[in-house]
Amino acid sequence: MLKQISLYAINEILDSASEISFISPMSKIIYINCLIHNFENKKPTIANSVAFDLLTSDFDFEKFKNNFHELHKAELITINGDVITFNNTWGKYIDRAKLDCDDEDSYKGENYSFIPADKIQKKLFIENETLIEICQMKHNLKQAQTNNLIDLFLKEQVALKKTYQSEQDCVKHFMYWLNYNKEKTTIPAGGNVKSKGKLLGK
């Protein structure tokens, strides 16, 4: 994938982001290093060209906290709790004709498109009885709590303009997200579920 993201693309990405908010030279270096770390061993495919996540536990986040906050303000990344999403700012600079399709039944060349989060229906999760049972047993959640967390997850992904390769990829992301966000819901005395989580910018 590294061959598909040129120096020209990096320069355009950083210049555009700098118009939104200040980015120090060190923050730019950290951003580029993260891109290299993610893309260097990946094949040039459509599936590998999308946004990606890092966990704050994967490195010494506190040491570079201010740098990542700069990148967040410049909209290059999105910090959501312990998950750092590197937004797909490089997509428009990639020659998609040079990207391979992993699954011919799912990818249709130029007609290929990702599913935006706002097109994912909640029933996808609710009708998945196995998923609900796993969530409740693994995280000791009640049905109402699980439903509330699904609502919160979908709202956050819409706010972040997240896209998915398939509905199942969205479900997998939810399972991953739940590990770090399961405490964002409580059931008060009245029995109604209220979320303690706040959307970015709120």
Q: Say how many C-beta atoms besides its own lie within 10 A of residue 42's C-beta.
A: 14
Provide the domain count of the chain.
2
**Whole-structure pTM over 0.85, yes or no?**
no
Shared-domain flag, residues 72 and 123 = no
Shared-domain flag, residues 134 and 55 = no
Residue 60's domain comprises 2-98
In this structure, is residue 103 part of a structural domain?
no
What are the residue ranges of helices labelled H in the chain? 7-18, 25-39, 65-73, 123-126, 129-139, 143-159, 167-181
| Last residue in a domain, options 67, 98, 129 | 98
Can you give the pLDDT of all 202 residues of the chain as single tens digits? 888 888 999 999 999 999 999 999 999 999 999 999 999 888 888 777 888 888 898 889 999 999 999 999 999 998 888 889 898 899 888 887 777 765 443 444 444 457 888 888 888 888 888 888 888 888 888 888 888 999 999 998 888 878 777 787 888 888 888 888 888 765 543 445 444 444 444 4
The pLDDT score that the predictor gives to residue 113 is 56
In this structure, is residue 109 part of a structural domain?
no
